[in-house]
Amino acid sequence: MSQPAPHVEYLAVHKRYADSDWVVRDLDLELNRGEFLTLLGPSGSGKTTCLMMLAGFEPATTGDIRIDGVSVAGLPPDKRGLGVVFQNYALFPHMSVGANLAFPLEVRGLSAGQRRERVARALELVRLEDFEDRRPNQLSGGQQQRVAIARALVFEPELVLMDEPLGALDRRLREQLQYEIRRIQRQLGVTVLYVTHDQTEAMAMSDRVAVFRAGRIEQVATPEVLYEEPQTPFVASFIGENNLLKGRIASVGRGVCEVEVAGQRLQAAHISDLPPGSETLVAIRPERVNIAPLPMRYSNEFEALVEDISFLGDHLRVRLEVCGNSDFIAKIPNIVGHGGILPGDQARIGWGALDCRALEAASY
Amino acid sequence: MGALALVLPLLAFVTLSFVVPLATLLSKSAYQPEVSEVFPETMHVLARWNGEGLPPEAAFAAMAGELAKALDERALPRASGAINRVQGGMRGVLNLTARRLARTDFAGTWRETLAGISGDWLQPRTWLAIREAGAPFTLRHYLQALDLERKEDGSIGFRPEDSRVYTPLMWRTLLVSLGVTLLCLLIGYPIACMIANSPPKRSRLLLLLVLVPFWTSLLVRTTAWIVLLQRQGVINGLLVGLGILPDDARLQMIYNMTGTFVAMTHVLLPFMVLPLYSVMRSIPPSHMPAAVSLGASPLKAFRRVYLPQTLPGIGAGSLLVFILAIGYYITPALVGGRTGELISSQIAYHVQTSLNWGLAAALSSILLVAVTVLYLIYSRVVGIERMRLG
Ligand SMILES: Nc1ncnc2c1ncn2[C@@H]1O[C@H](COP(=O)(O)OP(=O)(O)O)[C@@H](O)[C@H]1O
Ligand SMILES: [Mg+2]
C-alpha cells in the first residue's frame, strides 16, 4: 500500500430507518484529504442521512465507513472530532457567541487563555471580531451562519460536514458566503463534505460533486465533467438545463450513433454501450442549439415551431415545438438580437452531433 | 374605545368573581366591625377607660342597655362569637346576662346588677376582652394565625411550643408543597422530554395520556388512590399476595403523609409536564447532536445545552405546581388523615365550621403573601417574560 488511504471512505453502505424503505443504497464514495466534496440531490434523497452516518449519529445498516482507513463503526459521535454545521445553525441561544465558540474547547479541557486565543482567531476567520459578546439571536442570519461555521472549525478538526448551511439565506448573502466558505476551506486545508440541493451552489464551491437520487449516487465528478458529460438523464437535467428527446438507437458508429426521434434521424455522441434498437434519451443543452430562418450546416437540423420567447437580459429563451416535443428550449445569447424570430414562426434549429449525448433511458 | 368595550365583559367578570371577593376576604382578616356595631355606646365609654381595674359605671350601664337591645334585635350571637374568640367563655356570660337582665331587679348600680348575674363582670379581663374584640381594626387574627400572643406585659411573643396550631401546619404545608413540586419535576421532566422528542404521532398519544386526568373528576382520581393504597387495597393486597409482606404488616400508605404526597403529585403532575413540554418543543432537535459533535458527552451536552434552555419551563411548572399545592384542599383532606393535613383544611374549618372568618382570612392572606413573595423572587431570578406556561 504505497498510496495513503483516502480521508473518508464509504464502503458499500446501506441505510434504512426502523420503519422505512432503504434511504441510502450501495453507497461507495471516497473523499481525499483537503477536498471539497458536495452531495447534491433533491430533498429526501438521503444526503443528510449520509452525513449523519459519518458524524456518528446514525449507524449504517450494512457496509463500513472509514476515516483515514480506520473503521469508525462503534466510535461515538463525540469522539469522532468532526466539525458539523447543521441546517439551522444550532447555535446555543443561552450562550454568547464567544461562549458558543469556547464550548468545544472547554469540553476538550483547554485552558482559559488558549480558549480566548482560539476563539479570537476563529472569529477573525469569519470576520466577526466585534461580535463575541452578542447573543446569537442578536445576529442576522448570515452572521449566525458564520458563527456556526467558526464553531465547527474552532477546535481545528480535519474534516468538516455541512448540511445545507446556506439554505435559509437569501441569494446575495448565499453567494457571498459560498465564496467565504470556499476561502476558509482553502486557507485551512480542511476536508469538507458539503450537502446542498442547489446545483449552482454545488457547482460554484466543489472540487467534486456527487449527485444523489433516491439514495443512490448517479455520478461523482468535477462540476465541469458533470455539466459536459452527464452519464444519466437525471444528472443531465438536474445539473443545468437540458432538453431530453426520447428516441431509439438506429445504428452505432465510432463514438457517434444515429437516433430515431419521432420519425426523424439525429446524430448524437454514443457514450454508453447501448446497442441498436434500445431506447435512449438524447440530451441537448439549450445554449448549444442554434436558430436561424434558413438552413445551416449542422449534423442535426430540424424544422421547429416557435411557441414563446422570453427576454432574460443576457439571453433570449425560446420555447419550440420540435419532433412532437413542445417543451424544447433554446437559449440565444444577447449578441445579435433574435434575428427577427417571433412566436408562431417556423424556424430551423440545429446543433452538432457531439453537442448531444445519447443517454440510457432505462435509468430515468 | 371600541377595544375597551370588547374587554369590558372580561373586566367585569374578573372584578366580580376575583377582585371583589378577594378584597372582601382580605379585609375581614383585619377589619371586624361586629362588636362595635352591636355595642357602640359601651365601646365609646371603654375607649376612654385606662384599662386598670374596672371600667366606670357608665360602661356597665351602656353594656346592660345594649345587651337588652341586641337580644331583641337578635344581633347578640354575632358579637358574642367575636368576643368569645378573644376570651373563651364570654359567649355564655353574655347570653346569660342578656337573658337574665329582663328578670333581674335593678340593684342600685348597673355594676351591682350585672355582677349579680355573673361574677365575671367584676373581672377586669372581661372588659379588656370586650374592648379588644370591639376594636374594628385588629391584628388579632394575624397574631393567632402566626401562633403569637400578647403576653401579660403587653409584649408580643410565640405561644408555648405545645399550643402552637398554625405555624407547624404552615411549615408542613410549605415542605409538602416543595416536596410535591420536586417530585413532579423529577417525574415530569423525563416525561415532557420524551413527549417533546417523539415523532408527532407518538407525541400526540403521550400528550393525550397526560391530559386524560384533566377529564376525570378530581374526586374520582383521589378515591382511586384510596382504593389502591389503603390497608386492604390493591397494592397491599399484591404485596401480601406475593409474599413480600406478612399479612399483619400491611403498609399504612393512606390517611397520612404518604397519601398526601402520592395523590397530590399525581394530581399536579400535568401542571408540571405541560409548561416543560411547551418549552422543550421549542428547542431545536439539532442542539443535542450539535453539542455532541463539538465533543461533549451526551450527559455534558444535556447539562450545558439542553437543561439551561428548559429553565423557563422548570420555573413556570414549579411555580404553578407550588402555588396550586400550597392551597390544595380536597386531596389532602381526603387522603391525608391527621398527619397529612395541610393549612387549607384549617382555613376550610374556620370558614365552614367555627365561622371564624377573620382567622380564616388571616391564614389565607399569609398564604397569599408567601406565594406573592415567591413569585417576585422568581420573576427577579428567572425573568417573568421568559416564563412559558403553554
Ligand atoms: N430519523 C429518521 N427516521 C425515519 N426516516 C427518516 C429519518 N431521517 C430521514 N428519514 C427519511 O429518509 C429519507 C432521506 O432523508 P434525508 O437523509 O434527510 O434526505 P435529504 O437530506 O437528502 O433531504 C427521507 O425519506 C426521510 O423521510
Ligand atoms: Mg437534508
Closest residue by Cα to residue B126 from B260, B117, A115, A243: B117
Task: Please give the residue of chain A at the shortest CA–CA distance from B289.
Answer: A57
B/e letters for A254-290, b = 16+ CB within 10 Å, e = fewer, are: eeebbbebeebebbbbbbbebeeeeebbbbbbbbbbb
Beta-bridged to residue A275, according to DSSP, are none
> Which whole-number Å values give the CA distances from B365 to B20, B27, B178, B328, B348, in the listed order?
15, 10, 19, 15, 14
Q: Are A352 and A288 in contact (CB under 8 A)?
A: yes
Amino acid letter for position A322: V
pLDDT, position A339? 64
Q: Give the ligand at the shortest distance from the Cα of A40.
A: 1
User: Quick check: A105 pLDDT over 90?
Assistant: yes
pLDDT, position B389? 53
Closest residue by Cα to residue B63 from B37, B90, B42: B42
Segment A229-239 shows an average pLDDT of: 93
pLDDT, position A364? 64
Contact A78 B296 (CB under 8 A): yes
pLDDT, position B138? 86
Rg (CA), chain A: 25
Kindly state the helix (H) or strand (E) to which residue B293 belongs, with its residue range: helix B287-293
Measured CA to CA, the distance from residue B145 to residue B346 in angstroms comes to: 10
Grid cell digits, residue A56: 456518528
Task: Please give the residue of chain A at the shortest CA–CA distance from B308.
Answer: A94
Segment A194-199 shows an average pLDDT of: 95
Task: Please give the residue of chain B at the shortest CA–CA distance from A157.
Answer: B294
A45 lines ligand 1 (CB under 6 A): yes
With cut-offs at 50, 70 and 90, classify the pLDDT of residue A242.
very high
Domains for chain B: give ranges and CATH numbers.
32-137 (no CATH), 166-386 (1.10.3720.10)
Measured CA to CA, the distance from residue B256 to residue B172 in angstroms comes to: 13
Q: Is the ipTM of this complex over 0.95?
A: no
A21 lines ligand 1 (CB under 6 A): no
Tell me which residues of chain B have a pLDDT lower than 50.
390
pLDDT, position A4? 76
pLDDT, position A120? 96
Measured CA to CA, the distance from residue B188 to residue B186 in angstroms comes to: 6
With cut-offs at 50, 70 and 90, classify the pLDDT of residue A2.
low
A44 lines ligand 1 (CB under 6 A): yes
Grid cell digits, residue B57: 359605671
CA distance A46 to chain B (A): 17
Q: Does B390 touch chain A (CB under 8 A)?
A: no
pLDDT, position A96? 96
Q: How many CB atoms sit inside 10 A of residue B367's CB?
A: 20
Q: How many CB atoms sit inside 10 A of residue B209's CB?
A: 11
Q: Are A330 and A320 in contact (CB under 8 A)?
A: yes
Between strands A346-351 and A356-360, the pairing is unpaired
Question: Which ligand 1 atom sits closest to the C-alpha of A195?
Answer: 21
Contact B309 A93 (CB under 8 A): yes
A243 lines ligand 1 (CB under 6 A): no
pLDDT, position A301? 87
A49 lines ligand 1 (CB under 6 A): yes
pLDDT, position B91? 92
pLDDT, position A40? 97
**Tens of pLDDT, residues A336-352:** 665 677 888 888 889 98
pLDDT, position A262? 85
pLDDT, position B212? 87
Between strands A208-213 and B156-158, the pairing is unpaired
Q: Are A213 and A45 in contact (CB under 8 A)?
A: yes
Considering only CB atoms, which chain A residues are within 8 Å of B296? 78, 103-104, 107
Between strands A208-213 and A216-221, the pairing is antiparallel
Task: Please give the residue of chain B at the shortest CA–CA distance from A91.
Answer: B287
Rg (CA), chain B: 29
With cut-offs at 50, 70 and 90, classify the pLDDT of residue A32.
very high
**Tens of pLDDT, residues B224-235:** 999 999 999 999
Segment A172-193 shows an average pLDDT of: 94
Q: Which residue has the cell 429553565?
A: B311
Contacts of B148 (CB under 8 A, 6+ apart): B142, B156, B157, B158, B159
Closest residue by Cα to residue A238 from A68, A359, A94: A359
Domains for chain A: give ranges and CATH numbers.
8-233 (3.40.50.300), 241-363 (2.40.50.140)
C-alpha of residue A26 to centroid of ligand 2, in Å: 19
Closest residue by Cα to residue A141 from A88, A199, A195: A88
Q: Are A200 and A184 in contact (CB under 8 A)?
A: no
Structure pTM?
0.81
- Order the strands of the A346-351 sheet from edge to edge: A290-292, A346-351, A300-311, A315-322, A325-333
E-strand spans in chain B?
148-150, 156-158
CA distance A92 to chain B (A): 7
pLDDT, position A222? 97
Question: Which DSSP letter does residue A170 get?
Answer: -
Closest residue by Cα to residue B188 from B97, B300, B318, B340: B318
Q: Does B305 touch chain A (CB under 8 A)?
A: yes
Q: Which residue has the cell 455520478?
A: A219
Cα torsion B54, B57, B61, B66 to 10°: value is: -40
Contacts of A28 (CB under 8 A, 6+ apart): A10, A11, A12, A13, A217
> Which whole-number Å values give the CA distances from B122 to B56, B109, B384, in the listed order?
12, 13, 60
**Tens of pLDDT, residues A286-335:** 999 988 777 778 888 888 899 998 888 888 899 999 888 888 999 988 77
Question: Which ligand 1 atom sits closest to the C-alpha of A47?
Answer: 22
